[in-house]
Amino acid sequence: MYRYIALAATVALLAEPANAQSNLSPADRAAAFRAGGFKLVGKQWRACGDPGTPSYSPGNMETIRDLNGDGRPEAVITEGGTYCFGMTGTGYTIVSKQADATWKLITASQGIPNFLTTKGANGWPDIEIGGPGFCFPVERWNGKAYVLNRHQYEGKPCRPPR
């Protein structure tokens, strides 16, 4: 129960005003989606290849903010559906605006990202990846990629089930 409340609080903290995408120009928004592997299909940004199941929700920029303190925005894009993301039902993609104004894919995974106060290389926050269960992976930026650092539940170390 506590975990679901914490996840809801995290999503609420991540959520920008209802139209978070308006914080970027239309060109930047499109470039960010494309950098994350999304394609515009009709009026929806899609990446996972869901054939149109009822649980599907297209790409949506949940938040736009500077995650690593470099003065440039990152976008957290979510997409949903059990066809692509199993019981978790959601996936996320993080893209970052670069110094040359292009966008770069940082990481993508199934689950719900919870940005922690602990940090990896270059100021990138550790990400606890939430979903069903009670022992969640925490990934840390090593300067090139987010990699598994530990598992935790409610901030305490745990062992994932085998």
- For Cα atoms 118, 88, 64, give the angle at the middle one, nearest 5 degrees: 50
Number of domains in the chain: 1
Output the tens digit of pLDDT for each of the chain's 162 residues.
Answer: 444 334 444 444 444 343 444 589 999 999 999 999 999 999 999 999 999 999 999 999 999 999 999 999 999 999 999 999 999 999 999 999 999 999 999 999 999 999 999 999 999 999 999 999 999 999 999 999 999 999 999 999 999 887
Q: Single out the residue of 138, 157, 134, 158 nearest to residue 148, CA to CA.
A: 138
Expressed in percent and rounded to 5, the helix, strand and coil fractions of the chain are 25, 40, 35
Instruction: Kindly tell me the burial class for residue 63, based on how many C-beta atoms sit within 10 Å of its own C-beta (0-12, 13-18, 19 or more).
Output: buried
pTM assigned to the model: 0.86
Determine the structural domain holding residue 30 and report its residue range: 26-47+55-157
Q: Rounded to an integer, what is the distance from CA 76 to the centroid of its chain?
A: 5
- Domain assignment present for residue 17? The answer is no
- Domain assignment present for residue 75? The answer is yes
